[in-house]
Amino acid sequence: MKWSLIQKTPNPTVEAYGYHDPRVKEFLRQEGGLRCVYCAVNENALGGIQAFHVEHYRPKSKPEFRALENALSNLFYACPICNRFKSNDWPAEPHRLFKNSSYPDPSSVDYTILFNVNSKNGSVVGTKVASKYIVERLYFNRPQLILERRQYFLDQELTELNNEYSTLIPLLGKKGDARSIKYLTKLSEMSNKLNQLLIDLKKIPSYELGDVTKKKK
Ligand SMILES: [Zn+2]
């Protein structure tokens, strides 16, 4: 679960084909690294490309943005949940220091700087006025995202521990060495946690907007 700046490479065919065209969706998908531009969830967590949407950053239903309907600069790859929550919401043009409730442009701002992710419990807080608004409005602390983030951090921890362990193996003595036992115990604890998280993740039903809204505070 990592945000990154979405790099826009000019592509005249996007405008020519229009945002409905599957080739455009595929282009935006690659550009966005197979992740939701807002919550950064990987498409695999929600059923892949079929489930994901082409997002109009400046809502196409607003008359002032109608001309941007097929503009590459206005199109992104987003998960269906963020897309529906955002809908035609456009509270204001983004402030350059993020001091208002608004959506910073993901192609000019790396969203990583807007959020703090708690690596222990998987929750997210906005660090700016704009990102506090986004966390609330797009419901960034929904159960699925919490589990996805916890899995991500646990995965990382497990990899680091594994690496550490494999560099230690040649230095260790016999099997049953105290240090070796300590590491093996820790590794197995983490792998149990990871497995439990994967089970929890599978238990989360696919969302309908109504379901998610009900869970909101
Ligand atoms: Zn999303």
List pLDDT tens digits, range 74-101.
Answer: 999 999 999 999 999 999 999 999 999 9
Residue 179's nearest CA partner among 193, 169, 189 is 169
Compute, in angstroms, the gap from residue 38 CA to the centroid of ligand 1: 5
Compute, in angstroms, the gap from residue 70 CA to the centroid of ligand 1: 21
Compute, in angstroms, the gap from residue 39 CA to the centroid of ligand 1: 4
Q: Is 213 left (phi over 0), alpha (psi -120 to 50) or beta?
A: alpha
* Cα separations in angstroms, 47 against 6, 26, 44, 51, 205: 22, 15, 5, 6, 12
Residues 45 and 122 in one domain: yes
Given 100, 121, 137, the domain boundary residue is 137
Position 212 scores a pLDDT of 59
Residues 63 and 29 in one domain: yes
SS3 162: helix
Residues 55 and 130 in one domain: yes
Instruction: Flag the least confident range among 27-36, 150-159, 204-213.
Output: 204-213
Instruction: Flag the least confident range among 140-144, 157-161, 178-182, 184-188.
Output: 178-182
Structure tokens at 173: 């003595």
Domain that holds residue 79: 12-137
Position 217 scores a pLDDT of 46
Q: Which residues contact 17 (CB under 8 A, 6 or more apart)?
A: 23, 24
The better pLDDT of the pair 40, 213 is held by 40
Compute, in angstroms, the gap from residue 40 CA to the centroid of ligand 1: 6
Q: Compute the distance between CA of residue 39 and CA of residue 35 in angstroms, rounded to an integer.
A: 8
Residues 114 and 17 in one domain: yes
Residues 124 and 17 in one domain: yes
Kindly tell me if the per-residue pLDDT of 22 is higher than 50: yes
